[in-house]
């Protein structure tokens, strides 16, 4: 039993419809973005019968738009703390739903948000599925990384 | 009372219940919520409670509230990403009245509040 890219798409689309695209004006488009950008990576660790991370990665612009939408503010006014809170909660909600597809019992950690995370040891692991999308013209990605048991999920 | 470590989620829930004419008190975790309860003059009618929070999680909060008779009249609704059947059973066994899985729509919250008799049917037209 393991989540697939289709599972991630379904979960992400539910999250977007509930919180970021409530009026259908800013849909999450299931097409790989023109450019790759992972300026901000939010993740939650899953531990127990399965160990790994559920991640939401996006561009800086998309992270601010997501925070603005969730917090009801203008994207120009969004602070780093706002991005951490909003992206962390997106990762938490997506992670919780992914956890239900993983072997039981597992527990979900608290969200972490990392900026410019390329090469970050936090992201070491084997990617088991990914969903790439475009949101408001910006790249958005949801992925699941499996880690060796007990390795680095904290 | 809205208890969630995410400010964004507290805001989303605040908007929903404020629209139903509830006054809202917020807390960022179970411990903070217990402290707020001690300060309040009246026991809140309803608490919307996240599960995974630092310091004191939602299940621990529910257990603590249910152990104190003065909060007997408080309706406890978990609003969480924890969607496994076993977790739902644990929360209800600890004393939660209802359970909503994130992501949710405003209508899902409203429907639960109608079922609990906290608002009349059709209150959120």
Residue B20 lies in a domain: yes
B38 vs A27, A107, A120, B9, B74, CA distance in Å?
A: 43, 30, 43, 23, 14
pLDDT band at A151 (very low <50, low <70, confident <90, very high): very low
Residue B27: beta bridge partners? B3
Which pLDDT score, from 0 to 100, does residue B125 have? 53
H or E element at residue A58: strand A52-58
Flag whether the pTM goes above 0.90.
Answer: yes
Chain B neighbors of A19, CB-CB under 8 A: 12, 103
Residue B60 lies in a domain: yes
Separation of alpha carbons A10 and B71, rounded Å = 39
| Total Cβ atoms within 10 A of residue B121 | 10
A15-47 pLDDT, tens digit each: 999 999 999 999 999 988 777 788 999 999 999
Whether A110 sits inside 8 A of B54 (CB atoms) is: yes
Residue A108: beta bridge partners? A46
Whether A97 sits inside 8 A of B81 (CB atoms) is: yes
Which pLDDT score, from 0 to 100, does residue A10 have? 97
H helix and E strand count, chain A: 3, 7
Residue B39 lies in a domain: yes
Whether B83 sits inside 8 A of A100 (CB atoms) is: yes
Residues of chain B in Cβ contact (below 8 Å) with chain A: 5-9, 11-12, 15, 52-54, 80-84, 86, 101-105
A58-93 pLDDT, tens digit each: 999 999 999 999 999 999 999 999 999 999 999 999
**Omega before residue A72 within 30° of 0, cis:** no
**CB distance A65 to A40 below 8 Å:** no
* CA angle (B5, B123, B103) in 5-degree steps: 35
Q: Which of B8, B15, B83 sits opposite A89 (nearest CB)?
A: B8
Question: What is the number of structural domains in chain B?
Answer: 1
Q: Is the pLDDT of residue A150 over 70?
A: no
- CATH code of B13's domain: 3.40.50.2300
Q: Using alpha carbons, select from B47, B34, B37 the residue that is nearest to residue B75.
A: B47
Which pLDDT score, from 0 to 100, does residue B124 have? 64
Cβ pairs A/B, distance under 8 A: 62
Chain B neighbors of A71, CB-CB under 8 A: 7-8, 11
Dihedral sign from CA coordinates of B123, B7, A102, B30: negative
Residue B57's domain spans which residues? 2-115
Q: Is the pLDDT of residue B119 over 60?
A: yes
Token pair 């009618």 is found at B45
Residue B124 lies in a domain: no
**Omega before residue A109 within 30° of 0, cis:** no
Whether A71 sits inside 8 A of B82 (CB atoms) is: no
B11-57 pLDDT, tens digit each: 999 999 999 999 999 999 999 999 999 999 999 999 999 999 999 99
Please indicate whether residue B108 or residue A31 has the higher confidence score (pLDDT): B108
Give the tokens for residue A12: 């992400």
Burial A138-154 (b: 16+ CB within 10 A, else e): bbbbbbbbbbeeeebbe
Which pLDDT score, from 0 to 100, does residue A66 have? 97
Residue B125 lies in a domain: no
A88-128 pLDDT, tens digit each: 999 999 999 999 999 999 999 999 999 987 788 899 999 99
Distance from CA of A31 to the nearest CA of B (A): 22
Distance from CA of A21 to the nearest CA of B (A): 11
| Total Cβ atoms within 10 A of residue A102 | 21
Nearest CA in chain A to B55: A110
Which pLDDT score, from 0 to 100, does residue A154 have? 44
Q: Which of A85, A104, A109 sits opposite B7 (nearest CB)?
A: A85
Cβ partners under 8 Å of residue A151, min gap 6: A51, A124, A125
Task: State chain A's mean pLDDT as an integer.
Answer: 92
Q: What proportion of chain B, given as a percentage, has pLDDT over 70?
A: 98
Whether A99 sits inside 8 A of B84 (CB atoms) is: yes
Is residue A17 helix, strand or coil?
helix
Separation of alpha carbons A134 and A142, rounded Å = 11
Residue B121 lies in a domain: no
A6 vs A3, A27, A38, B43, B95, CA distance in Å?
A: 8, 17, 21, 45, 36
């Amino acid at each position: 039993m393991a989540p697939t890219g289709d599972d991630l798409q379904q979960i992400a689309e539910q999250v977007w419809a509930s919180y970021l695209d409530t009026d259908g004006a800013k849909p999450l488009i299931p097409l790989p973005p023109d450019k790759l950008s992972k300026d901000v990576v939010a993740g939650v660790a899953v531990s127990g019968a399965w160990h790994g991370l559920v991640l939401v990665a996006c561009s800086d612009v998309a992270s601010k738009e997501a925070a603005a939408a969730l917090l009801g503010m203008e994207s120009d006014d969004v602070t780093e703390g706002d991005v951490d809170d909003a992206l962390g909660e997106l990762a938490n909600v997506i992670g919780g739903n992914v956890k239900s597809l993983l072997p039981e019992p597992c527990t979900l950690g608290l969200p972490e948000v990392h900026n410019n995370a390329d090469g970050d040891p936090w992201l070491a692991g084997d990617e088991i599925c990914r969903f790439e999308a475009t949101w408001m013209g910006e790249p958005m990605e949801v992925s699941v990384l499996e880690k060796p048991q007990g390795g680095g999920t904290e | 009372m809205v208890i969630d470590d995410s400010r964004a989620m507290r805001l989303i829930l605040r908007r929903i219940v404020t629209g139903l004419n509830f006054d809202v008190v917020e807390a960022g975790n179970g411990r903070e919520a217990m402290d707020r309860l001690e300060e309040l003059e009246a026991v809140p009618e309803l608490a919307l409670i996240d599960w995974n929070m630092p310091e004191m999680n939602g299940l621990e909060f529910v257990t603590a509230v249910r152990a104190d008779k003065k909060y007997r009249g408080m309706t406890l609704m978990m609003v969480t990403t924890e969607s496994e059947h076993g977790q739902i059973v644990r929360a209800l066994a600890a004393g939660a009245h209802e359970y909503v899985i994130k992501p949710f729509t405003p209508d899902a919250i409203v429907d639960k509040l109608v079922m609990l008799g906290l608002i009349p049917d059709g209150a959120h037209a």
